Amino acid sequence: MKRKIVLIVLMSLILMVMLAGCIPGDGKHNEENKAGFFWGVWHGWIAPISLIGGIFNKDLRVYEVANTGWWYDFGFYIAIISGFGGISLTRRKIKRD
C-alpha cells in the first residue's frame, strides 16, 4: 500500500513538471513563432494548471498572447468546453422514486 502511494505521488510530480514546460507565457512563442490551433487545444487542456502557476509566477498566463488569432482561440475554447463541459454531459442522472 505504501509503495502504491509513493508511486502515485512520484507520477503526479513528473506529470506536473512535464505540463509546466508548456504553459502559456513561458517565452516559447513570440511574434515570429506564434501559437496555433494545436497549441490552443493544449493550453485549453492545461488551463487549470496555468491558472495555479500564474498565482505564483506573474509571467505565466492562462492564454498565450502571441497566437495566430481565430484558430488559436477556436482550439482553446474547444479544449475548455470538451474538458470541463463534457463531464456533465456524460454524468448519469439519479432517478428519485
pLDDT tens-digit series, residues 31-84: 888 888 988 888 888 888 888 888 888 877 888 888 888 999 999 999 888 875
For residues 89 and 96, give the distance between their C-alpha atoms in angstroms, rounded to a whole number. Answer: 19
For residues 23 and 16, give the distance between their C-alpha atoms in angstroms, rounded to a whole number. Answer: 11
Q: Are 47 and 78 contacting, i.e. CB atoms less than 8 angstroms apart?
A: no
Q: What is the pTM of this model?
A: 0.65
**Strand, helix or coil for residue 97:** coil
